[in-house]
Amino acid sequence: MDPDTLVDVRGLNHWFGSGEARKQALFEVSFSLTRGSFTALMGPSGSGKTTVLTLVGCLRAVQDGSVRLLDHELNGATEAGLVALRQRLGFIFQGHNLHESLTATQNVMMGVQVRRGVPDPLARQAASHALGLVGLADRAGYLPANLSGGQKQRVAVARALVGNPALVLADEPTAALDKDSAAEVVDLLKRMGRARGTTTLLVTHDNRILDRADRILTLQDGRIARDEAPRG
């Protein structure tokens, strides 16, 4: 695999259900992601975007085809191997998924503490730094209930990036946000990705994100229908 390639997906097929209900969701999907790139994954509802994201994110087992991530083949990998790889990724899901009983800092600390053996003071220091980067230093002690939607999503961004992941996978991170907050969150992801060399794959229906992506992959009925680089 090219050393600049972080993710290489080849001939990926995926099925859901069994017996008569068995339905193919992905058909021979192939693409690769260069280190440090910011890629939007587009496509109509049901086209397979989340399925691709969860397969690349080691959240489901690869059934057929090849997914190479960080020089590991996911097809046939053990659960322990998948867990270890998952710990090197950052996830941002729609609706932020913050723990309501934990402060912003504590939520972000969880992004460090998924890796065992990180002492509390170090995790806290990293979390404070990450919250500063997303412009929330003055909200560090707030519970999610006291933050706006955009602020919560920025906490989620900080949590995803705090462990310095090689790859950030985001599933519709701006869906619940107004135009300005959405632009802010995307710019933030992009800027922090650039600064740290993080690769980002972002599933979205949001057309506003398109002109910010280095590359747009479009899925249609489980197949890659288009692969565009907007700025050539």
Least distance (Å) between residue 12 CB and ligand ATP: 12
Least distance (Å) between residue 46 CB and ligand ATP: 4
Candidate ranges 41-49, 68-76, 144-152, 161-169; the one touching ligand ATP (CB under 6 A): 41-49
Closest CA to 219 of 207, 232, 200, 203: 203
Candidate ranges 39-47, 156-164, 209-217, 224-232; the one touching ligand ATP (CB under 6 A): 39-47
User: Sheet holding 223-228: strands in order across?
Assistant: 89-93, 167-171, 199-203, 38-42, 215-220, 223-228
Least distance (Å) between residue 48 CB and ligand ATP: 4
What is the C-alpha R_g of the chain?
Answer: 18
17 binds ligand ATP (CB under 6 A): yes
| Closer residue to ligand ATP, CB minimum distance, 48 or 163 | 48
- Residue 14, Cβ neighbours under 10 Å: how many? 22
Which pairing describes strands 215-220 and 199-203: parallel, antiparallel, or unpaired? unpaired
139 binds ligand ATP (CB under 6 A): no
Least distance (Å) between residue 32 CB and ligand ATP: 20
25 binds ligand ATP (CB under 6 A): yes
Span 43-62, contacts to ligand ATP by CB under 6 A: 43, 45-51
| Closer residue to ligand ATP, CB minimum distance, 50 or 174 | 50
| Closer residue to ligand ATP, CB minimum distance, 67 or 127 | 67
Least distance (Å) between residue 49 CB and ligand ATP: 4
| Closer residue to ligand ATP, CB minimum distance, 49 or 215 | 49
Least distance (Å) between residue 213 CB and ligand ATP: 17
Least distance (Å) between residue 96 CB and ligand ATP: 17
Binding-site member from 11, 16, 115, 178 for ligand ATP (CB under 6 A): 16
* Interaction site with ligand ATP (CB under 6 A): 16-17, 25, 43, 45-51
